Structure 1
Amino acid sequence: MPNKSLDFFIFDQHRKVVLSWQKRFDIIMGISRGLLYLHQDSRVRIIHRTLRVATSRDLDDELNPKISDFGIARIFGNNQWEAKTKRVIGTYGYLSPEYAIDGKYSVKSDIFGFGVTLLELISGRKNIGFHHPDHYHSLLGHAWLLWNKGKGLELIDPCLKESYIEFEVLRCIQVGLLCVQKLPTGRPEMSSVLLMLSSEGVALPQPKEPGFFTERSTTDIDTFTGEGRSDTGTTFTITVVDAR
């Protein structure tokens, strides 16, 4: 049996084992409930700051998701909604624009990381190191382009063609794009995310442009993958010191 790493099941193109759409949807819902607890239902509000599901430690033996790695998480007071830091620490590719650029973090920065994770689970590809022959956008930009062309289903991992449910996939893509919108004010709260994912009858707003919607140069892609263009890419921790 594999080591149950999500990298193995979804992102390792050389040893891919099919993880069904139902299992991926269960993972998405599990992360949603966990993040809702941190933001709203726990005794204190916890901002994770580097939310992702990318390694075996983020899944249990039954492939159920668990939110882990609280090393840089922050506790907010009851009336606190945003904070700012001069040191930006987290996993590149999951950081929201306002956090990566200005050091501002809130529940909405966690929502951004959730949206990235959701789109990665649908596509089976990582945001970092993503490459497409027709453009140099990240996975977020690629998803946005497809959505605007009415081709959202083209984002789905090819190995899911026999197991996915069309309306669930499209709803998840739309929710993912809502979560990664450039402006934090446009991103939904986690309670709304869970409602949108679990209720077919809830009308969803149309997403706006995602964060970091700029085409990268080939130099940027090579820098982040380490070995030229790559579908899988890498993730790493960055620290940015703001001199202001």
Structure 2
Amino acid sequence: MFNGQDSGYISPEYAVHGRFSIKSDVFSFGVLVLEIICGKKNKEFSHGDHNDNLLGHAWRLFKEGGSIELISGSLQTSHVIFEVLRSIHVALLCVQHHAEDRPTMLTVVLMLVSEGPLPDPKQPAFFNEEGFRELEILASVDEATLTMLYAR
């Protein structure tokens, strides 16, 4: 059965249906970028104020205009904050629940090297523990589905 805690880099379409999409790598890239910026792994992340994973925490901070709080101390002093905040925004676009809402890797690169406006991300996949439980239910239903064949 699927365990949401192991979902570190796995796209929702693979976690639930066992299918990779052309944008599964985009999802993994987004998680990796958030981990680098935060300095913590997604599946090991915890916060005292809520039960969100790293993706949910980044989303919460983004919506509140506090993405700068996600940045690890070492990055705050050694990098241009604008570029790191833009990377968070792009990473959130990469971790969208539905593959069709994620950019392509080419678009990701273009967004990272440009300074133009970015689209607003939607709530990411695997937002919190409730999302994990939802995926566990879907995965268990998917595993338990039987197809009965009857000869004519």
TM-score of the alignment, normalized to the shorter chain, above 0.5: yes
1:123-169 CA distance string (max 9 Å, x none): 11100021100001100000000000000111001122211211101
Partner of 1:242: 143
Partner of 1:162: 77
Contact 2:7–2:43 (Cα < 8 Å) also in 1: yes
Contact 2:90–2:112 (Cα < 8 Å) also in 1: yes
Residues 193-208 of structure 1 aligned to structure 2 (within 5 Å): 193-200=108-115, 202-208=116-122
Residue 215 of structure 1 and its aligned partner are, at CA, apart by 3.2
Runs of 4 or more, structure 1, over 6 Å off, are: none
1:89-145 CA distance string (max 9 Å, x none): xx6311111110111211211110110001001111100021100001100000000
Any unmatched runs of 5+ in structure 1? 1-90, 221-239
Q: Does 1:137 align with 2:52?
A: yes
Q: Of 69, 89, 95, which residue of structure 2 is paired with 1:174?
A: 89
1:161-206 CA distance string (max 9 Å, x none): 2112111011100000000011111000011000000112x32101
Contact 2:13–2:21 (Cα < 8 Å) also in 1: no
Residue 243 of structure 1 and its aligned partner are, at CA, apart by 4.1
SS in 1 for 2:78: coil
Partner of 1:186: 101
Q: Relative to total residues, which structure has the larger strand share, 1 or 2? A: 1
SS in 1 for 2:77: coil
Any unmatched runs of 5+ in structure 2? 1-5, 134-139, 146-152
Greater relative contact order, per chain length (Cα 8 Å cut-off, separation 6+):
2
Once residues 124 and 7 of structure 2 are traced to their aligned partners in structure 1, the CA distance between those partners, rounded to angstroms, is 16
1:125 alignment partner AA: K
